Structure 1
Amino acid sequence: MEQPPGFVDSSFPQHVCLLQKALYGLKQAPRQWFSTFSSFLLEQGFTVSKADPSLFLFTCTSIHIYILIYVDDILLTGNNTDAIADLLLRLQLRFKVKDLGNLSQFLGVQFVFSSHGISLHQQHYAKLILQRAGLEHCKPVSSPLPTKYATSSTDASLFPDAALYRRLAGSLQYLTITRPDLTFAVNYLCQFMHKPLISHYQLLKRVLRYVKGSLDFSLLYRPSSFVLTAYCDSDWAGDPFDRRSTTGFCVFLGDNPISWSSKKQPTIARSSTEAEYRALAITSTEIIWLRRLLSEFHISPTTPTALLCDNVSALALAANPVFHARTKHIEIDYHFIREKVNSGEIKLSHISSIDQPADLFTKAHSSQRHHLLCSKLHVLATSQLDGGS
């Protein structure tokens, strides 16, 4: 601890302050810890992932070890138990770390291993959110948002406790880590953080009632192939006020969803083709990143990644090298998808709107349609797993 400006002892200017009590929560503490820990790993022969700076990889002949770091929570895995045990011993000699055994919980996400595969859920965290909202005994509903809801209210009364709205909406955002079925609804609610109305809070309570009725939902991962497949969709001019479109995409590794998003586009699209074209470009950036990440796990894609869209005109625009006059206004960075198609990294394909799983991330659906799309994303209730479906 350096002497603070204005309080430097002129007789001993190079001295430092003696701490009488440990300071917790310094802004630079996580950065210093990460620097110290990562330096140790680099000394042990690890390399930093180019796709994710919190991922460290070790490769020596046939031995592969991977470490994922989030502050002081660490995931360690590999294909050689002796090498992992040796690394743990060296870690324990250098740091005060504990081996908690096989993975069961990480950053609030619980992992359940069964004959069906690996289930990820945040049931305990979801219950805490309901308790904070005082809705632990509420009546459940079967879908997050109604198909028709008032995006504006003639009674534009502000919600009196904006801080509560922000806390609950932010908590729900973290819940989408294992609940892609909540992604669109939470994205919509988070657009009103700055000035929530009573009508927005009513929709928030609706989402919480859906959470109450789906506490036993989990994200199931089954053994599958390592082939990437992506789906993207867009709800053209879905917002009746600013007329901006919503982009939704999901990426599968084999049969398992590994990435999904629902986000409003930054500018207004003049046609459904343009909205879908932008969605293709946004999804392409995710595909490129995932291909790079997989290559670091020694799973290098040998074929173009299939990207499926339900808009034929957008597919034609992405594959056509001619720069049409009607697309001059589209930002240049969206046109990079043509380069990826020509380079063979991405292969565009058409899919029927009915079969499009990314439709879940662009709009609200009826209960039947919502649960059908959930099943496509492996968001299943425990009873469904017990039934073997």
Structure 2
Amino acid sequence: MRILLTIAVMHRWPIVQLDVSNAFLHGVLSETVFMKQPAGFVDPQHPHHVFLLRKAISGLKQSPRQWFTTFSDYIIQYGFKTSTADPSLLLFHKDTTQLYILVYVDDILLTDNSQTTIDQLITALHSQFSMRTLGKLNQFLGLQAAYTENGIHLNPTSYAQEILSKAAISDCKPVQSPLPSKLPSAVEDRPLYSRPDFYRQLVGSLQNLTITRPDLQFATNYLCQHMHKPHTIHFQLLKRVLRYVQGSLHLGLPISRSNLQLNAFADSDWATDKSDRRSITGYCAFLGDTLICWMVKKQTSVARSSTEAEYRALSTAACDLIWLRRLLMEFQVPLTSPTKLYCDNVSALALANNPLFHARTKHIEIDFHFIRDYIRSQYILVHHISTEDQPADIFMKSLSAVRFAALRHKLTLCSPTVNLRGPDKEK
């Protein structure tokens, strides 16, 4: 979604939002499914009979797939193709026409370089499906879109307020960072939280909030690691995160009009988790000045050195960059130069650039070494960046309020009235 909006903003294309009424009812079932007679509609002559469903309804696990199959089959007949990088993206390229559809269940985004082509497609869709044209992008997946001089600002203010209301802390005192600079080390001897289901609901809501709030990604990732068995201390940390949300309600992600150059930043915090000594990978990617992708992930095995942890982070980021490059090519974005990947560990950069397999790296899984092939083929170039200028540092550890605010600024998060530029990639 963020890539689609960035390209549309860059080319000043119209962005139209559609909503399908009773989307699942459009799906035709390919399997035999029976249903009990619902209350109020029981046949008095055959009260023990069941219904044979011909179309999908809400509640069936097959419904979303059947609806998408019905919609995509029709749109492919219209001349679209399904993206190989993301099946929810449908592409139409003919002569000078570029038309893109992004489908999220019953919410659809549509953009094109020609308003006439959009109108023709909308007319065809209305003749086939029951749907509403909501006009230009305004509210999508719980996000509000505010139009600025330089593009669009996506913010989840309303959804964040709903989370605070659910937690009954709408009037809480805000804090300047989501987590304290020092996290608790041992929690097994502390009491368990009495309402684990409530904890899981709130943390799950925070996960949805991170769609446009990367500053919450590390805190949410940390809280998610304790969803199976939350302690009281974890709920206290969750309340602190919500207090931070209260103080930053209007922060969001700007989609800026700039170049379409892809750059990425990868970092790792070695053996940060004292319980299992696994490192954490942090990664983010910018398309021009717009932050389009970010990730926080605990590594699957223990790294024996900080160099190894950083090297694995580079390989993980390279996987996403390969996918992003393939997706951008489907948007017909010219990728004439290698993608720059920045890292603050000199030893990891030397290991990635060196085609020789040193004895000290024999234990590293083979799949992490594929990054060397892409560096050699000029798909990706790795560069050094100072730790002070590394924006991915916000995804790996709990930071002081001053450092956290500085890195949040580098991620371009701002209020709808402020436009920020991305980090200086040449430092």
TM-score by length of 2: 0.85
- Pairwise CA distance, 1:346: 0.2
The answer to whether 1:125 aligns with 2:159 is yes
User: Can you list the C-alpha shifts for 1:239-285, whole angstroms capped at 9, x where unaligned?
Assistant: 11111101001000011110001111111000000000000000000
Match of 1:335 among 347, 362, 369: 369
Report the AA paired with residue 328 of structure 1: K
The answer to whether 1:283 aligns with 2:293 is no
Residues 276 and 20 of structure 1: CA distance in aligned 2, closer, same or farther (over 3 Å)? closer
CA distance in structure 1 between the aligned counterparts of 2:342 and 2:113, rounded to whole angstroms: 34
Residues 104 and 326 of structure 1: CA distance in aligned 2, closer, same or farther (over 3 Å)? same
User: Can you list the C-alpha shifts for 1:310-351, whole angstroms capped at 9, x where unaligned?
Assistant: 000000001111111111111111000000101110001000
Structure 1 runs, 4 residues or longer, greater than 2 Å off: 1-5, 16-24, 151-155, 381-386
Q: Give the match's secondary structure for 2:230.
A: coil
The answer to whether 1:189 aligns with 2:248 is no
- Pairwise CA distance, 1:153: 3.4
- 1:239 aligned partner: 273
- 1:8 aligned partner: none
Unaligned stretches of 5+ in structure 1? 6-15
Q: Is the 8 A contact 2:148 2:416 kept in 1?
A: no
CA distance in structure 1 between the aligned counterparts of 2:146 and 2:135, rounded to whole angstroms: 14
- 1:104 aligned partner: 138
CA distance in structure 2 between the aligned counterparts of 1:90 and 1:154, rounded to whole angstroms: 60
CA distance in structure 1 between the aligned counterparts of 2:418 and 2:124, rounded to whole angstroms: 44
- 2:357 aligned partner: 323
Report the AA paired with residue 70 of structure 1: Y
- Pairwise CA distance, 1:118: 1.0
CA distance in structure 1 between the aligned counterparts of 2:114 and 2:151, rounded to whole angstroms: 22
Give the stretch that moved more between structures: 376-385 or 320-329. 376-385
Give the stretch that moved more between structures: 90-99 or 147-156. 147-156
CA distance in structure 2 between the aligned counterparts of 1:109 and 1:3, rounded to whole angstroms: 36
Q: Give the match's secondary structure for 1:182.
A: helix
- 1:223 aligned partner: 257
Q: Give the match's secondary structure for 1:86.
A: helix
Residues 317 and 98 of structure 1: CA distance in aligned 2, closer, same or farther (over 3 Å)? same
CA distance in structure 1 between the aligned counterparts of 2:65 and 2:275, rounded to whole angstroms: 42
Q: Give the match's secondary structure for 1:26.
A: coil
CA distance in structure 1 between the aligned counterparts of 2:110 and 2:34, rounded to whole angstroms: 40
Q: Is the 8 A contact 2:33 2:53 kept in 1?
A: no
Identity of aligned residues (%): 55
CA distance in structure 1 between the aligned counterparts of 2:83 and 2:54, rounded to whole angstroms: 40
Q: Is the 8 A contact 1:291 1:300 kept in 2?
A: no
TM-score by length of 1: 0.93
CA distance in structure 2 between the aligned counterparts of 1:301 and 1:116, rounded to whole angstroms: 23
- Pairwise CA distance, 1:154: 6.8
- 2:197 aligned partner: 163
Unaligned stretches of 5+ in structure 2? 1-28, 36-49, 421-427
The answer to whether 1:313 aligns with 2:353 is no
CA distance in structure 2 between the aligned counterparts of 1:385 and 1:249, rounded to whole angstroms: 23
CA distance in structure 2 between the aligned counterparts of 1:3 and 1:335, rounded to whole angstroms: 48
Measured on the aligned residues, the alpha-carbon RMSD in Å equals 2.1
